[in-house]
Amino acid sequence: MHEYSIVQALLNQCEEIAKENKSKKITKVITKIGVMSGVETHLLQIAFDTFKESTMCDEAEFIINKQKLKLYCNSCKAEFEIDEHRYICSFCESLDVKVIDGEDMYLMTLEME
């Protein structure tokens, strides 16, 4: 389950940022996870809850914002978002599309004390 290694890296990153800002505690961790990132959000939540103990995130709320797949059609120049895993233009049904967003995971915000 690669969500465990992702959470361990995320917790390390959160602690580094908190130390750089002379914070003693992290109260909220907000992430953005693309539908095509390969990350199972429910497993990520379980991993976060499991590994946050004994870290600066021990009492932190973990918020996962899901990013739809955002595509650009090179044929009709439309930009659109979809929930499903299909690389077809919603407007002209062209296969000539480019992914703009929805394949990555980002740490968006930390709230610290």
Q: What are phi and psi of 103, to 5 degrees?
A: -110, 0
**Residue 2 contacts by C-beta under 8 Å, 6 or more apart in sequence?**
38
The pTM score is: 0.87
Q: In the chain, what are the domains?
A: 2-112 (3.30.2320.80)
Per-residue pLDDT of the chain (113 residues; tens, 9 = 90+): 589 999 999 999 999 999 999 999 999 999 999 999 999 999 999 999 999 999 999 999 999 999 999 999 999 999 999 988 889 999 999 999 999 999 999 999 999 99
* Residue (of 98, 97, 71) closest to 82 by Cα position: 71
